[in-house]
Every structure is written in C-alpha cells, then in structure tokens.
Amino acid sequence: RAGGSRRTRVALDVEQIVDAAMAIADREGPAAMTMRKIAAELGVGVMSLYWYVPTKRDLEALVLERLMIESAPPDEPTGDWRRDLASIAYASRANILRHAWMVDFFSSASFMSMEMVGHGFLRHIENSIRMTESLPFDFLTKMTIVSVLDDFTRGATTEEIVDRRRWDAAGMTREEFQERLTPRMVELFSQSSYPLVELFMAHDDEIADPEVQFEMGLQLILDGVAHRIAMHEAGKGAAS
C-alpha cells in the first residue's frame, strides 16, 4: 500500500514453529516459549501462528512430540541385546542434556495428560520395545527392563543437570565446588569417625565425573540382565 509498510509474508509450517519454540527454550527455558517470542524469532505476526498452533497447549504437545522422537532409540535393533538396550539409555541421556529444560518441562503438573500423547510418544515406546527383541524373556520382563533403563537414565541425568545449575548459581566449576567443600569435610572428619565416608571422599574425583558414573550404572544394569539370561538358559538346560 502506498505510503505504508507491510510485514513481508513468511511461509510457515508447524515444524518451523516447533524449531523456534525449542530454540527459545534452549536459551531461556520452557516458560519463555510464548507465542509472542516465537513470532519474533520467526519474523512474523503473532496472529499468523494461530493458523498452525491454535493454543499454548497445542504448542506444548507439539514440543513434547518432538522431544519424544529425538530421544527414541534407533528404529531397528542390531541383534546385540547389550548394545540395543544401551541405545535406549544413550538416546534419552543425550537428548536431556541437549535440552536441559526438559527436566522442568517434564515435571510440570500438566505434562503427559491424555491430550499430550501423540505419535512421537508411541514411536518412543515402540522403538524401546524393539530393542528387547533378542532377549529370551516374556513381554512383562522386557517391559520392566525398559522401565528400569528409563528410570535410571532420567534420574542420573536430572541429577547431573541439577548439579550443573548448582555450580552455575555459585559461579564455580565442578572442580572449584569440590575444592571449596573439601576443607569443611576435613573439619567434620576430624570431629568424628566416618571411615566409609572418608573412603568415598578419597575417590571423589573418580565418582564425581557424571559420564563415568552414568556408564558404570548402565553397565551394572546390563550385567544384571546378563545374569538373568544366564539363569534363564540354565533353567532351560535343567528342564531338557
């Protein structure tokens, strides 16, 4: 229009909107995923977003869908049960660390209500179950193994993120935080006898590395599965 200005029309789709929402959450946290900020990120008017995403609830469902797809294990198992089960944990941990705000998003009161469940959630479950195909167990046992892996991964990775936030809030690295804590622990040890805690602190550098600790915990779980397989095979041999 002569003498006026018009916003350049930008071709949009749902994937672009979800990309923008997650980029904002990566920088500022999930609470910052507002329609106004997403519109600014994409260089469009706020109202144009509502053609694709009618409500904030719809946006959250789409973001959850993307998170579930990104954290799903591979579509096909390798046939190596140990490698396949580990892929469930590795995929989930990598995505939580990539989007640390998932910890807050998943703990919100509205998370995982029925309307939030979509194909991404189903794909995540489907692929996880596929990773158990080579195990010689009944379906319930396989699902329990998947659940244990999921619970361990979320718990260990959430703790890692919480620790990082604690260090960031104190303006310290992990190493600096430990150095600051050491004199206090030495003082406590001088006043009482906790030999096992002292042993723990002596190995703190080895224990404190979250990646090493995660890998050790995962391998212990897989060792337990290996023991269960051995018991299963021994039972078959005894019965034949």
Dist CA 29 CA 18 (whole Å): 14
Instruction: Give the DSSP H or E segment for 97.
Output: helix 81-98
Q: Report residue 8 as tokens.
A: 């350049």
* pLDDT for res 207: 63
The rounded average pLDDT for each run of 10 residues, N- to C-terminus, in the chain (240 residues) is 49 92 95 95 94 91 91 93 97 95 75 65 92 95 96 95 88 81 75 74 70 95 97 78
Answer positive or negative: Cα dihedral of 152, 220, 140, 88.
positive
Q: Are 153 and 92 in contact (CB under 8 A)?
A: yes
Planar angle of CA 72, 75, 80, nearest 5 degrees: 100
C-alpha 95: how far from chain center? 5
What pLDDT score was predicted for residue 39?
Answer: 96
pLDDT for the residue numbered 3: 45
Q: Is 184 helix (H, G, I), strand (E, B) or coil?
A: helix
* Confidence at residue 4, expressed as pLDDT on a 0 to 100 scale: 44
Angle 56-70/35-42 helices, nearest 10 degrees?
Answer: 70
Q: What is the pTM of this model?
A: 0.82
Using CA atoms, how far residue 37 sits from 101, 103, 150, in Å, is 17, 21, 33
